[in-house]
Amino acid sequence: MQPKLYVAPSWHTTHWRPEDITDEQLKIWKEETILVIEKNRAIHAENMKKFAQLFGLVRDLFGTKSIQEKYLLKNDGGYAANWHSYSLNFKESVEDKVNRCRAEAEKIKKTKESEKEQLELLAEAVLWLKARGRALGLDFSAENAIQTANDIAFFEEVERRREYIRKNGPIGFSGQNCDGPCSGWDGESKRCECGNRRVSWTYDDLSFKDPSIYGEAY
């Protein structure tokens, strides 16, 4: 009266690498695992029925609380195996591993893309500075080329905006909530036209490629 062997899903019995698993494969394995659970549930019921018969036979032959009965209870011979462990471990053993692998691959990809973009930006900054008469190794280095270009672009944009204001008059600024009438700021003074607010040039995310600045009260 041997117990029927429980079955295992293919992901449990074959070698696989998380990086090779597609969404379609995950779907197939998950569906397979559900079928395996149902099969093992049926096998479990059949095995427990056999175990009950064996247990009854041992009691008939040796009586209750016999050594044979105790042995049988302690060593069920595979009748009450943990058949549901496959379903409990699918997420941890398969899905979580695949998701962690994908997240790490995406992180590496973004890092490489960021490094590539940074190198391209550095090359552009060097050319931008050279076009303005700055010499690499003398006026700037590879380490500070981007920041140097940004700083110069800021001052160039400040001068361009000031020239515009000289021709067209004061401009509005962020935080312009003066107590009385105020025509704005001239782009050069420390205060606005009415004198109520202190103002200076600032930016949110300035780049030499597209310098964008504005006046802000502080």
Based on the number of CB atoms within 10 Å of its own CB, is 94 exposed (0-12), middle (13-18) or buried (19 or more)? Answer: buried
Please report, rounded to a whole number, the percentage of residues in the chain having pLDDT higher than 70: 93
pLDDT in tens, 154-167: 999 999 999 999 99
Q: Which residue has the higher pLDDT, 197 or 49?
A: 197
Which residue ranges make up each domain of the chain?
A: 10-109, 145-217
Report the half-sphere exposure of 9 (CA within 13 A, side-chain side): 27
> What pTM did the predictor assign?
0.62
Structure-token match 């691959």, residue found: 105
Q: How confident is the model at residue 82 (pLDDT cuts 50, 70, 90)?
A: low
The sign of the CA dihedral 142, 148, 153, 156 is negative
**Among residues 94, 70, 83, 100, which one has the least CA distance to residue 40?**
83
83-98 mean pLDDT: 79
